[in-house]
Every structure is written in C-alpha cells, then in structure tokens.
Amino acid sequence: MSADAEGPEPWEEQLLRAGPLTSQQLSLFLDKWGISKDVEQTFCRELRFAPEEIIQCLSSISGLSGSPVRAARAARDARSRRGEELRQMKGHLKRSWAKTIQELAEIEGVNQQEGIETPAIPVQESPVRDPSQSGQQQVRAGANLEGHSMARPAHMASGDEVTALMKARQWEKPEQWTMTVQHWVDIVGACTETPQYKSVMEQKKTVNMHDVCRLFVKPWSVGTGCSLAVLMSREVVCNAQLMVSHCWGEDVSETKESLLQHIERHELPMTVPLWFCVFSNYQPQDGVGPKLEHQLALEPFAKVIGNPALKSANGGHGMVALHTTTDDLYSRLWCVHEVERAMVEEDVEIKASMSQKYIDLMVGRVEQFLGLGATLNDCFRAAGIQLILQQANGFDGLDEVVESFRREQLPVVIFEKLIGKGLLELKSASESARANSAVVFAACQMHGGGQLEHATNPEKLRWQDLEVIDLEDLKLGQIFRLGVRTLPELRQNSKLSLALAGEGLGAKGCKTLFEAMAQLKQITDLNLDLERNKLGAEGGKAVFEAIAQLKQITKLSLNLEGNRLSDEGGKAVSEDIAQLKQITNLNLNLSGNNLSAEGGKAVSEGIAQLKQITDLSLNLAGNKLCDEGGKAVSEGIAQLKQITNLSLDLRSNKLGDKGGQAVSEGIAQLKQITDLSFFLRNNKLGAEGGQAVSEGIAQLKQTTKLSLDLEDNGLSAEGGKAVSEGIAQLKQITDLNLNLERNDLGAEGGKAVSEGIAHLKQITDLSLNLQRNNLGDKGGQAVFEAIAQLKQITKLSFDLRYNNLFAKSGQAVSQGISQLKQITNLSLNLAGNDLGADGGQSVSEGIAQLKQITKLNLSLAGNKLGAEGGQAVSEAIAQLKQITDLNLNLAGNDLCDEGGKAVSEGIAQLKQITDLNLDLERNKLGAEGGKAVSEGIAQLKQITKLSLNLKDNDLGAEGGQAVSEGIAQLKQITDLNLNLAGNTLGNEGGKAVSEDIAQLKQITDLNLNLERTDLGADGGQSVSEGIAQLKQITKLNLSLAGNKLGAEGGQAVSEGIAQLKQITDLSLDLRAIQLGDKGGQAVFEAIAQLKQITNLNLNLAVNDLSYYGGKAVSEGIAQLKQIT
C-alpha cells in the first residue's frame, strides 16, 4: 500500500478484489493501469500471485503514468523483488530446477552490475529422507506423525483385512481403482476431523491434496499395497463411472464443495464409482505395492477415460473438472491432458464444477475489466479461459481444445454480463447460457428480439420481461418459441394452444403475436389464453383483426378475461368475429372487461352472424350489462338456431328481473339445445325474474343435461316454486346441477323445489345446492321425501349446510337416502346444522344401507354429535365394505377421546380404502383420542392418499407422537396432508412427528401444518432434519407459523428444505416465528439453492424484518429464474 496514502489506491483496490492471479491475468491488470511492461516481465508467468504480493512489489512505484525514469526505477526494484521470489519458491517452482538456478544467476548478475545488493534469504526445502529408514518409517517421518493416532474412515480395510485379490487389483486395470462418492466423502470427513489437519489449516489457512496425501493417504495405505480407493471398496470391483480431474494444489474444502455440487446438480447417486488420482493411485512408494512409475506405465488416465463404463450410453457420468481458488487446474499438465483426452473420446460427457468462491472471484475480475472498458478477449483472459502452453514444442491444438472447453463451462452470469455490455451476442454464448432466461433476456435487450433465434430453451421467458424489447423485430418462429414449440413443429400441426395469461403482453406485444400467427394457415383448432394482459381496446382490436384472417379455423377458444377491453374493444370483437363464418365451436371469455349494455350488444351481434356454430360458450360475467345488455345478448343468441350445446355466463351483471326475463325469452327459442349451462348468480332477479327464467327453460324439451346457477338472487319461496314448476317439465333430463344457495326459500320453497325435481324420473346424476335457505326440519323432511322418489339416481350431491336442521331432519335424511339403493357415488353436506347425537345416528343408519357405494363424501361438521353420535356414525360407515374413497368431516362435534376411539375403530374396518380424507378438527380428542385415531389409520395398509386434520385437539407431545407413529406405518402413501396446528406439541412432539414422517420414503406430495404447536429452535431443527430425508418430494406445503423458532430455527428449517433438490412446487409459511434479519438472511440463502422450483409461495409476515432482512429474502427469490 502506498506509504503516503490514507487508504488503498484505486489500482490496489482492484487487485485486492481480483484475488489470486495468473501471470497472464496480472499482465492484463498492469496494462489497464498503464504500468510499464518492464514491470510485467519481472513476474514468473507460470506462478499465481496473491494481491498482497503484487502490491508489495509495486509499492515502490511513485506513479503509474509510465514515464521512462519511473519505469526504469520500477523495473530495477522489481528485479530485486524477483530474485527474492525465486529464492523463496526455489523448491516449489513449476519448472526445472536447472532453469530456476540459471534465471536466478542471470538476475543476480544484473543486480551486481547495477550495484543492487542481494540479501541472503533462507530457503525452506523439503525434508531429506534417511535411506536407512523403511518405506513406512519414511512416510511417518515426512508426515511428522510419531506419537499421533488418527481415526481411519470406518469402512476402510486395515492391513490385516487386505486380501490377495485387492493387492492384485492395484497392479493392473487402473479403471477399477475406484471408490463410491460416499467413500470419497467419508475419507475427506475423516481427514478434516484430525488434529493434523486442523494444525495445517491454522498454519497455512488452507489444506490441499499434497497435504492430504502426505498426512493421511500415505500413512493409511503404507504397507498394504492398496490405494485408499481399493481399501474402501475392498473386493467390490467396479469400473469408474465418473472421473474427477483436479490439480493437487486445490483447497480440500473447495474441492469437496465443487464435487458435491456436481453430484447434486446432475442428481447422481452417492454410490457412483469414481476415480480420483490421489486416492486411486498407490502413493507410499514403499516397495509393497506398485511404484508410481509402474502405475503411470499402465496409462491410468487414458484407461479410465476410455473405459466403457464412463460413457453416457452405458450409464456413465463422464468426467468432471474441479476448479478452486487456491490453484489453477490447468497449471498441471496432466489435467490439461485429461480434459483434452476426454473431449476427443466418443460419448464421454465432460463438465466443470466450480466452488462458489472461484465463481465469485472470476465474475469479480470480469466486472472489473468491464468497468475499465476492456475488450471481449481481455474479459475472457480475465476469466482465465486461455492457456499459454505454446512455449515448449507447440501446443496450439491442445490450447484450442482446452480453451473451447473452459469457455463452454464458464458460469452463465459471465455471459450475461458480457452480453449486457454489448461485447457478445447470444449465438456465441455457451449452450447453458443460451438456455438461461436471464441471458436470453439480456441478449434481446441489447441486440433485439432476433436473438431468440439462438436461444435453446427460452420457455421460461415471460412476455412482461420483454416489454423493453422491440417485439416487432421478432420472427414467427422466435415468437412461438417463447410459448410452446418451434416453428417446424407448428407447421406440421393443425392445432395450436398458447398459454400466455398474465404475461404483460400489452397492445404492442399482442399485435406482434397475432401478425405472426396470421401466417399459420394450416391451423383449424386454436386455443389462446390471454387473461390479464393489459390489452385494452387497442390490444383487443389487434387480437380480433388477426383472428379474422384465420379463415380456416373451425374451433376457437379465446380467454380475454380482465383485459379492460371496454365497449370499444367489444365493438372490435363484434366486427371481426363475425368474419369467422367457418367456426362451429366457439369458447369466448370476456368476463371482467368493463362492457356496458352497448359492448354486450356489439358482442352478441357479431356472434349472431356465426350461423354454423353448434357449440358455444360465452362468458360475460362481471361486466355492467344491466337489463338492456342482457336483452341484447339474448336476442343475438336466439338467432343461433343450430346450437346444441350452450354455456352462457352472465354472473354479476345487475340484470334484474327484466334482464332475467329477456335472457330467458331468448334461450327459449333455442329448441335444439341438448346441453345447457346457465349462470345467473348475483343478478337480483327476484321471484319474478326467477319465474321468467324457469318458464324459458321449461320450453327446452330436448335438453338432457342442465346446469342452472341462480345463487343469491332473492328468489324467496315464490321464486323457488316457479323454478320447481319449470324444471318439472323437463322430463328428458338425465343430468341436473341446480344451485339455489342463499335465496331465502324457507320450508315452503324447499318443498316446492324438491317436489318439482321428484318428477324427473329419468335423472341419474343430480347435484342440488340448497345451503343457507333456512329450510328447517319441515323443509328438510320435504326435500328428502321427494329425493327418495328418484330411484334411478346413481350419483347424488346434496348440499344442505346451515339450514337449521335438527334431529327430526336427520331421520328424514335417513329414510330418504336409504331408499336410493342404486347410488354408487354420494356427497352429502349437512354441516352447520344441529342434528345432535340422535340426528347423526339417523343419518348414518340410512347411509349404512347403501351397500353399493364406492365413493362417499359426508360432512357432519358442527352438529353437536358428541361421543355417542360419533360412535353411531363410525359404526354405520364401517358397514360400507365396498368404499374405496372416503371423505368424512366430523369437525367441531365435541367427540372427545371416546368418540375419537369409536371413529378410529370404525375406519379401521374399511380395509379396501385407498383414498381417505378425515377431518376431526376441534374435537377435544386429547392424547388418548389422538392415539386411538392413529391406531385405526395404521391398519389401512392399502391407502396411497391420506388427508388427516387434527387441528386444535389438545394432543400434546404424547398425542402428536402417537399420530405420527401410526402414519409412519403406512409405507405405501405417496400423498400426505397432515394438520396438527394448535396442538402444543413442543420440541419433543415436533421431533417425534418429523422422525416418523421421515420414514415415508415414497411420499412425493406433502402438506404438513405445524402452526402454533409451541416449537422452539430445537423443534425447527428436528422438522428440518426429518423433511431433508424425503428426497423424493416434488411438492411441499409446510406451515410453521406462530412458533418461536427464532433465527436459529428458521435457518435450520431453510437448510433442510434446501436439500430437497427435486422440489418444483414449494409453499412455506413462516409467519410470526421471530426470524429477524439473521433468520431472513438464512431463508434467502437456502431458497436461492432451489434452482428447480417453478412455483413458490413464501409467507414471512410479522417477523421483524428490517429493510436489510427483506432485501436479503428478495435477493434470494430473484435468483430463482425458473419460477412461473
């Protein structure tokens, strides 16, 4: 550092940031700062220099302007420093000893001529072995290990365990000197735990493979005749499936990080046999095993690389070249040879894996050079991709091969930065960079949309990311590669589906998209999802102008929901869609587009001209049509006399009774309709409007399938009666879905509706929603008396929630349901009534008689069943031996432990169930009840999908453990939803639950709710350790909200989840767990590792995160480029 400066000079800061430099990289830095070439030439080109050494060497330079006087003085000072360097490195230079002495003599001669004094500096040399010592004694002396004992890896064979077969193996077939990845990890782990390792680390601040070989490899293998690889694998002989190329001088911890990163990234098992020269070659040179000369004569590197097991076609994993900061991989000529040989070998995949520190330093150097205005070649040299091997006998070809490999393996972020500065186009980037959405985006920003032509996998790019790009530059093929597939594939298809919802297309993007699509003349079936794209009237106009050109389309599905088209856009729809004379099937969604009566009229007039349509789905929900718009729509649709299938959605349009009447009059004219779905929810129809609708529908004598949604329309009893009378005339209907929720029907209206339905003797599939209609016992009884007459029904869904039904209604339910002997699928929702134990017993007795049911959904939540009612329900269900799919909701019924036990005993008898959903929330089960439930479920060995809700049941640690022990026995489960929220499990219970769930190795979808269970940091750690073992999970929903995990527990949970490399869908609820900034940082670091996630839901509310904590989290999420 300059003596007269208060802090480092700019050039000093640059060097400190750059990290260790090769002579070539150092030359670049000096050149950029205008430092004399004389100074550059004084540094040995084969060495790597630490920043502090360079600054010390240059500190005598008073200025960096490059004047002749200063340059001469700098050169002379540097030559003095050069002699000092050579003496310090005398025993370690990567050149011949004779050349070192020669260069040192030359420098000392120059120094003597110029009067420079050469100081005497002691040189540390390698210890000299005593020839009288045995090989083993020499090894121990060199390692300075006398008096020390080192624990060997647990699986490593001792000298006494070595067999003749193992020894013979070391003399031949180098490709079989292998160990597993796990063996490698065990060896390194054993080394790092020893005092010797820690001592070297303390002295040198790093431990390399030279140290490992001297301290551990030789002492552990001396006298055995076997390498560590053979000692670990013993008599298990495997050809290498993975070769590891490394340079010996690399830091051990960075080496481990790089190797395991490669294993995880490519999802390789820990059992893969690998070849690692330090451990695979026999190192002691003790005369017991083969000498290195003999082993090298076998050409081990060539044999391993050429062996069939390494090849991809045979399940091999090729070669990985490890890069660390402490030594340059390519400073070792063997490594260069290995890379070159692997690249020319057929079907051997070669990859590079770099420690994070190596990547950070590389990126930092490139950023520095970019800041200095460097050229592209200078930036590549700063990244270290070029070699200087030409100096001896010419290595031009080798240079070219290795440089190509290094460039291809550069971190993607390097290409992103070079492209972002305009120094590179996408076509010149690596394959992985061309598949990276951030790099592709940078290329499009800098060079235009045409760069997409060179992208290899840009599906994850979003249109909203491309707002700044001139989309008009894009060609047809490039546009579609954003969404679905390549142009050649498109030209072979007559069907196209594009999902671009929420992509922020805007009017401009939409215009470009459809101009390109107009070229696809062969498409007859088009499905476009453009929901929430901020198209506006202009964008809507562009959409329909383009679609109007596709004269060949016969089937069109277009979703424009939430695009603010307004009436102007509606008018465009009308004008252009009317030109599609050939369409027979149209699905058009214009909901939430601020269409008034005028817009609705325009749309319907356009559709009215499509005389050939037989299948129409029109969604105008959430607009402002009012009665006038409703009338216009109905008049337009009434002209489509050929339609047989109609779905019309007019929800929330303020139609009123007049609008309802107008719509129904229009529909009544469509005499040919066989399938009608009509949605009029929340339109204030009233009794008069309800009557008009039903009268119109009653005229559709040919309709066999009807779905009618009249929810929340204030029909009252009078309107209910009118609806009933209309439906009763539809004698031909076989499938009816009727929603009359929230209409204040009362007992009289409920009775009328059910009596009307009772006339439909041909119905086989009925869904009736009468919830929140204040039916009372009288209405409930009338409903089930009528339903009992439908002897032909095989599928029934009945929703009577919150209707003030009591025990008497329960009896009516029982009597009515029990007569439906043909039902195989029953869904009955009686939640929120007041059936009591007697009513619950009655309902269950009726259901018990339905011996043919295979699927049952029964909700009796909030009915005050008590233990007695719970027992009655479970005893009845236990009789349904044919059920395979059961959904039973008994939440909020005060079952207590006795009722829980009864439920479990009943369910345990259903041996045939494969899918069970059991909701026992808020039932005061306690530990005993929880234990009983778990024992019952544990007997269902055939279940593959289980959802169990035991929220707020006072289970405690004991009950939680019992539940998890029971579930742990269900080894066949692949989908588990377990809710234990509000149960005061504590750390002990949390540990038990996590340990048991960890045994379910087959689960791929896990939903675990441990919210408010009194977990602390230790509990969080336990949960983390358990989940981390579920390597097969692809979808995880974990809630730990309201626990006192703190930063430590939050970190543990995050680190556990970070190990689940296969997860693509993650929902993590960490609300109010006292994370703080430290915990937020930990969450960020963990989530950033989940590169495979496409769907993320993260809740960190109420965690005292400051600006910095929130920033850390957002930075982590920002790295997940693949999230959609």
CATH number of the structural domain spanning residue 739:
3.80.10.10
> What's the mean pLDDT in 854-863?
95
- pLDDT for residue 890 is more than 90: yes
400-404, 459-463, 971-975 — which is least confidently predicted? 459-463
- DSSP tag of 161: G
Domain annotation covers residue 223: yes
Quickly state the pLDDT bin for 987 (edges 50, 70, 90).
very high
Beta strands in 898-1028 (DSSP E): 915-919, 945-949, 975-979, 1005-1009
Per-residue pLDDT, 434 = 83
Which H helix or E strand runs over 183?
helix 181-192
Rounded Cα distance between 241 and 923, Å, is 57
Closest of 527, 589, 518, 592 to residue 554, by C-alpha: 527
Q: What is the pLDDT of residues 467-505, one digit of tens each?
A: 444 443 444 334 444 443 344 444 556 777 777 777 677
Per-residue pLDDT, 1104 = 84
Residue 1105 · residue 1113 · CB < 8 Å: yes
In a 13 Å sphere around the CA of 755, the CA atoms on its Cβ side amount to: 12
Neighbouring residues of 401: CB distance < 8 A, sequence distance ≥ 6: 339, 340, 343, 344
Residue-averaged pLDDT of the chain: 81
Quickly state the pLDDT bin for 28 (edges 50, 70, 90).
low
Which H helix or E strand runs over 276?
strand 273-276
Residue 419 · residue 443 · CB < 8 Å: yes
Q: Which of 353, 370, 385 is the last residue before a domain boundary?
A: 353
Compute CA 525 distance to the chain's CA centroid, rounded to the nearest angstrom: 32
Percent of the chain past pLDDT 90, that is, above it, reads: 44
Q: Which of 744, 774, 801 is the last residue before a domain boundary?
A: 801
Report helix, strand or coil for 1025.
Answer: helix
- pLDDT for residue 7 is more than 80: no
Quickly state the pLDDT bin for 327 (edges 50, 70, 90).
confident
Statement to judge: residues 367 and 349 lie in one domain: no
> What's the mean pLDDT in 1043-1072?
90
Q: What is the dihedral of CA 1103, 1108, 1109, 1110, to 10 degrees?
A: 80
- One-letter amino acid at 12 equals E
Q: Is 1041 left (phi over 0), alpha (psi -120 to 50) or beta?
A: beta
Statement to judge: residues 338 and 370 lie in one domain: no
Domain annotation covers residue 888: yes
- pLDDT for residue 784 is more than 60: yes
Rounded Cα distance between 369 and 149, Å, is 50
The tokens describing 741, both together, are 């929720």
Statement to judge: residues 903 and 981 lie in one domain: no
Compute CA 143 distance to the chain's CA centroid, rounded to the nearest angstrom: 48
Quickly state the pLDDT bin for 307 (edges 50, 70, 90).
very high
Domain annotation covers residue 211: yes
Rounded Cα distance between 832 and 802, Å, is 5
Per-residue pLDDT, 368 = 77
Statement to judge: residues 343 and 368 lie in one domain: no
In this structure, the number of other CB atoms found within 10 A of the CB of residue 173 comes to 15
Per-residue pLDDT, 167 = 93
- pLDDT for residue 886 is more than 90: yes
Statement to judge: residues 203 and 227 lie in one domain: yes
Statement to judge: residues 813 and 744 lie in one domain: no
- pLDDT for residue 41 is more than 90: no
Statement to judge: residues 669 and 706 lie in one domain: yes
Residue 755 · residue 786 · CB < 8 Å: yes
Percent of the chain past pLDDT 70, that is, above it, reads: 77
Statement to judge: residues 154 and 268 lie in one domain: yes
The domain of 1074 spans: 955-1124
Rounded Cα distance between 1110 and 1029, Å, is 29
Statement to judge: residues 782 and 818 lie in one domain: no
Residue 1038 · residue 1069 · CB < 8 Å: yes
Per-residue pLDDT, 859 = 96
Q: What is the pLDDT of residues 63-89, one digit of tens each?
A: 333 333 333 444 444 444 444 444 444
Closest of 300, 304, 357 to residue 326, by C-alpha: 357
- pLDDT for residue 126 is more than 90: no
3-state secondary structure 677-717: EEECCCCCCHHHHHHHHHHHHCCCCCCCEEEEECCCCCCHH
33-37, 471-475, 560-564 — which is least confidently predicted? 471-475
Statement to judge: residues 813 and 797 lie in one domain: no
Per-residue pLDDT, 88 = 44
Residue 65 · residue 350 · CB < 8 Å: no
Domain annotation covers residue 302: yes
- pLDDT for residue 464 is more than 60: no
Rounded Cα distance between 226 and 221, Å, is 6
**H helices within 970-1075, ranges in order?**
986-997, 1017-1028, 1046-1058
Statement to judge: residues 813 and 783 lie in one domain: no
pTM for the complete prediction? 0.62
Quickly state the pLDDT bin for 143 (edges 50, 70, 90).
very low
Neighbouring residues of 428: CB distance < 8 A, sequence distance ≥ 6: none
Domain annotation covers residue 27: yes
Quickly state the pLDDT bin for 245 (edges 50, 70, 90).
confident
Choice between 780 and 369, residue whose per-residue pLDDT is larger: 780
> What's the mean pLDDT in 897-910?
91
Statement to judge: residues 211 and 323 lie in one domain: yes
Our count of domains for the chain comes to: 6
> What's the mean pLDDT in 1008-1025?
92
Rounded Cα distance between 650 and 664, Å, is 12
Neighbouring residues of 101: CB distance < 8 A, sequence distance ≥ 6: none
Per-residue pLDDT, 1080 = 82
Domain annotation covers residue 23: yes
Domain annotation covers residue 913: yes
Rounded Cα distance between 604 and 595, Å, is 12
Name the burial class of residue 108, with classes exposed (0-12), middle (13-18) and buried (19+) by CB atoms within 10 angstroms of its CB. middle
Quickly state the pLDDT bin for 573 (edges 50, 70, 90).
confident
- pLDDT for residue 194 is more than 90: yes
Q: Which of 430, 448, 470 is the last residue before a domain boundary?
A: 470
> What's the mean pLDDT in 786-800?
92
> What's the mean pLDDT in 856-879?
93
Q: What is the pLDDT of residues 93-117, one digit of tens each?
A: 333 344 445 555 555 555 555 554 4
Domain annotation covers residue 230: yes
Per-residue pLDDT, 382 = 67
